[in-house]
Amino acid sequence: MPEASTLALFGVAAITLLVIPGPSVLYIVTRSVDQGRAAGLASVGGIHVGTLVHVAAAALGLSALLVSSATAYNAVRWVGAAYLIWLGVRRLLARDEDGEGAAAGPGPGSRRVGLRRIFAQGVVVNVLNPKTALFFFAFLPQFVDTARGSVPFQVLVFGSAFVLLGLVSDGTYALLASTGAGWLRRRPGVARVSRLVSGGVLISLGVTTALAGSRSSSS
């Protein structure tokens, strides 16, 4: 079990990293602005279920395999980038009333289906984010002390702490973004602008993921 002081230091470092907007935060904010608070919180849940997958992979040593293999890293990077671009293109091609319907919720059944889809997309977005695997491979091990017992167990403890802190910080982003979006949606013409902006952000995230990985692999 990690020492309390080490866990506290990890918490401070993790919060610092979490509050800086990155691909996951931008994805959550986009969903919150585009479809409302429930969609934003569903995306937060999906993102961090994806994080739990990376935590389990790190504990089993799979992150080291991913980072050490250029082929595996690039495969995950390109699939993740393509998935984000696909989501963005779908959003750009959607009708304006679709966004309004998702935000308002035409009925209990259709709303649940929509939120499940958003949750699942959040899981896929983060599972296919190789930078998350790099985080658990390069950053988290700095806090692991082999003298304190099982290394996989310590990784699980730190990873669980990271997920809990992420739920709080990303949940705050989702609530703030959806609150501001509620005011914007009452303005005429905002549905179309929201659709174009959210689609553009998702496509930009995909392109950024692809290009950032290319620069890091060539350096």
In this predicted structure, what is the pLDDT of residue 163?
93
131 Cβ neighbours under 8 A, 6+ residues apart = 22, 23, 209, 212
Which has the higher per-residue pLDDT, 83 or 18?
18
Closest CA to 39 of 185, 211, 161: 185
Whether the model pTM is above 0.85: no
Range of lowest pLDDT (2-11, 48-57, 107-116, 189-198)? 107-116
Mean pLDDT of 124-147: 75
In a domain, 75, yes or no: yes
CA–CA–CA angle 176, 177, 183 (5° rounding): 95
In a domain, 28, yes or no: yes
In this predicted structure, what is the pLDDT of residue 184?
61
Most distant pair of Cα atoms in the chain: their distance: 62
Give me the domain span that covers residue 137: 23-218
Which has the higher per-residue pLDDT, 212 or 11?
11
In this predicted structure, what is the pLDDT of residue 170?
93
Q: Which amino acid is at 14?
A: A
In a domain, 4, yes or no: no
Structural contact between residues 87 and 202, judged by C-beta atoms closer than 8 angstroms:
yes
Which has the higher per-residue pLDDT, 211 or 5?
5
What are the φ and ψ backbone dihedral angles of 185, each rounded to 5 degrees?
A: -65, -15
In this predicted structure, what is the pLDDT of residue 216?
46
Q: What is the tally of structural domains in the chain? A: 1
Please state the three-class secondary structure of 135-168 as a single string. HHHHCHHHHCCHHHCCHHHHHHHHHHHHHHHHHH
In a domain, 5, yes or no: no
In this predicted structure, what is the pLDDT of residue 164?
94
In a domain, 211, yes or no: yes
